[in-house]
Structure 1
Amino acid sequence: MNEVFFVHSVSASVLDPRPSITTSALPKASLPKPSVNTHSDVPIDFHFNHEVGEFISKYLMRYNLNDIKLFNTRSSDEIIFNAASKTKVIVNFKRINDYRKVNRFFEDMNSLLQTDDLFISNIETHTKRKERILKNIPSPFKGLYYGIDFIFHRIIPKLNYLKKLYFKQTKGYGRVLTKAEAYGRLYSCGFEIIEDVLIDGQLHFVAKKRSAPCYDYKPTYGPLIKLKRVGKGGKMIHVFKIRTMHPYAEYLQEYLYNKNSLNPGGKIKDDFRISKLGRTFRKYWIDEIPMLLNFFRGELKLVGIRPLSEHYFGLYPETLQLKRAKFRPGIFPPFYADMPKTLDEIVASEEKYLDQYMKNPMLTDLKYFFMIFQNIVFKGKRSA
């Protein structure tokens, strides 16, 4: 079998799908000349069509011939060896599901590019993969088949004592990735998604380098996670929760807020970071049970303002930010007493609570506790 990777510079016209321009009209030197390396375990998976060409070409046309490199490889070393120092756009047609070490690959792309340079590639998300593998499976067996597949491809690679055996068997091919994990890894490695499009079951994306890699959120795969939140005095604390989002999802909060804004209740609209099981946990507050650890450590109190991420905290008015910093956050916020629907209403709800709390702390928390209890138990209110 062969692995095809393009190592010659290419003009944007080569990928321009417009009928008025054809590759035969171009100088031969402008066309990509693939070199073929033979590897016994690497399949040819390069696939190109009109839609992909249209999507990519609108970005490539902004650059000069020598600024662009095209590849179809899972080896970042190949790209490092063949990419020139002045390369401004790296296009890799190999889906990132087949990268053995995804973060290392992204880190290498980051090191080759300057700020605002582009990295273009694609991914098969776990939802599209599920559709593909179950397409020809008889309905009575789909549940069993996917259950076995889920254990082998989603659980075993996350277990330290089985992970090495899994990658030895698969050689890193066909890694199952959610959109949230793939994009979160890109953001952690210093990239920013500027556009994506779904074509023939593959999610093609254009990412722009914005900074050096940064793993400040310390992403994990375990069921118990620690989230950085703003505590009393503006000090960052780690709040314990049960995982409801896919790994690396914490890197995408700003991206999703800018793209989707907020829905009623102050949560991000169409948040693809949340897993199906996670939605159930959130609905019944199961994910917040570990916050009792923060309560016993003295970082949270029972009733109080919601512990916020730095990004969400930055959406609040400066006056409320200063006022919030004087107090410990709580497990049960005034949100569940007032059930506000917009960010302005959430701000007003917290302002009202803090004003009352400053006058009579114990009585205010007691009153709010019973208001929250009544909403949850008797009125059936649920978390967003």
Structure 2
Amino acid sequence: MMETLTRMIPVFKNRKFNGLKEDYPLFREVSINKTLRQEDPLLSKSREFRLFKTIRNESGEEVLDYITQFVDLGSEQTQVLSTTTLFNVTCLQDEFYEYIVNLKKFNDVRRVNKFLEALNDKIEPHGLFVGCIETLEQRKQRLINKFPPLLNRLYLTGDYIFKRVFPKMPLTKQIY
């Protein structure tokens, strides 16, 4: 049997507490389990609420709607990250996750293969990884909209050379 603590706590309704007895308009009795378990539904709901709020703030409502179609955010087997570094993935607890979600663009990840290997080590055999990516067409459209008509074509050409050609050339490969 789990030990519970019962406490009377003040409930304030639109009033600031200044330490006086008359500032306690109501008291509510609250029972608190001394040992909270991870599978406690209240803990799960609050974790789920925090994840919803964090994802919405980090990536927006559209991304949150998409993620919730495929991922159970209330599950303890779900890990949500916002990282582009391999270090943060390898520092996850040594357990298998059913779902891993990364909110940062996958395009910004250095050493993509190592990053994917680390994710593969942390995810269950039939688990799901959800990530964000900017396709070539999306990037092109974003850059075209960023500059005036003539300038955007020049910028696109330079961007292509710097991002796609230089990394393949032996001399500039080391710099990139």
TM-score normalised by the chain length of structure 2: 0.64
Q: In the alignment, what sits opposite 2:17?
A: none
Q: Take 1:156 and 1:66, find their aligned partners in 2: how far apart are those partners?
A: 43
Closer, same or farther in 2 for the Cα pair 1:29/1:89, shift >3 Å?
Answer: closer
Q: In the alignment, what sits opposite 2:124?
A: 114
Give the RMSD, CA atoms, in angstroms. 2.6
Q: In the alignment, what sits opposite 2:18?
A: none
Q: In the alignment, what sits opposite 2:109?
A: 99
Q: Take 1:155 and 1:115, find their aligned partners in 2: how far apart are those partners?
A: 36
Could you tell me which amino acid in structure 2 is paired with residue 159 of structure 1?
Answer: M
Q: In the alignment, what sits opposite 2:84?
A: 74
Q: CA deviation at 1:84?
A: 4.3
Residues 202-237 of structure 1: CA distance to partner in whole angstroms, max 9, x if unpaired?
xxxxxxxxxxxxxxxxxxxxxxxxxxxxxxxxxxxx
Percent of pairs with identical residues: 27
* Of 107, 122, 125, the match for 2:135: 125
**Contact 2:143 / 2:152 at 8 angstroms: preserved in 1?**
no
* Of 128, 134, 158, the match for 1:148: 158
Q: In the alignment, what sits opposite 1:60?
A: 71
Secondary structure at the residue paired with 2:174?
helix
Q: CA deviation at 1:139?
A: 1.8
Map of 1:223-234 to 2, 5 A cutoff? Answer: none
Secondary structure at the residue paired with 1:116?
strand
Q: Take 1:83 and 1:158, find their aligned partners in 2: how far apart are those partners?
A: 36
Closer, same or farther in 2 for the Cα pair 1:66/1:145, shift >3 Å?
Answer: same
**Contact 1:71 / 1:93 at 8 angstroms: preserved in 2?**
yes
Map of 1:133-282 to 2, 5 A cutoff? Answer: 133-166=143-176
Q: Take 2:145 and 2:78, find their aligned partners in 1: how far apart are those partners?
A: 37
Q: CA deviation at 1:138?
A: 2.2
Secondary structure at the residue paired with 2:124?
coil
**Contact 1:89 / 1:117 at 8 angstroms: preserved in 2?**
yes
Q: Take 1:139 and 1:74, find their aligned partners in 2: how far apart are those partners?
A: 32
Secondary structure at the residue paired with 1:109?
helix
Secondary structure at the residue paired with 2:80?
strand
Give the number of the structure with larger relative contact order, counting CA–CA contacts within 8 Å between residues 6 or more apart: 2
Q: CA deviation at 1:126?
A: 1.6
**Contact 1:69 / 1:83 at 8 angstroms: preserved in 2?**
no
Closer, same or farther in 2 for the Cα pair 1:142/1:48, shift >3 Å?
Answer: closer
Q: Take 1:161 and 1:73, find their aligned partners in 2: how far apart are those partners?
A: 30
Closer, same or farther in 2 for the Cα pair 1:84/1:55, shift >3 Å?
Answer: farther
* Of 61, 77, 90, the match for 2:100: 90
Closer, same or farther in 2 for the Cα pair 1:50/1:160, shift >3 Å?
Answer: same
Q: Take 1:29 and 1:102, find their aligned partners in 2: how far apart are those partners?
A: 29
**Contact 2:106 / 2:131 at 8 angstroms: preserved in 1?**
yes
Q: Take 1:94 and 1:127, find their aligned partners in 2: how far apart are those partners?
A: 19
Q: Which runs of 5+ in 2 are unaligned?
A: 1-38, 52-56
Q: CA deviation at 1:94?
A: 0.8
Secondary structure at the residue paired with 1:135?
helix
Residues 176-195 of structure 1: CA distance to partner in whole angstroms, max 9, x if unpaired?
xxxxxxxxxxxxxxxxxxxx
TM-score normalised by the chain length of structure 1: 0.31
Q: CA deviation at 1:142?
A: 2.9
Paired residue total:
130
Q: In the alignment, what sits opposite 2:6?
A: none
Secondary structure at the residue paired with 1:114?
strand
Point out the structure with the larger strand share.
2
Closer, same or farther in 2 for the Cα pair 1:27/1:138, shift >3 Å?
Answer: closer
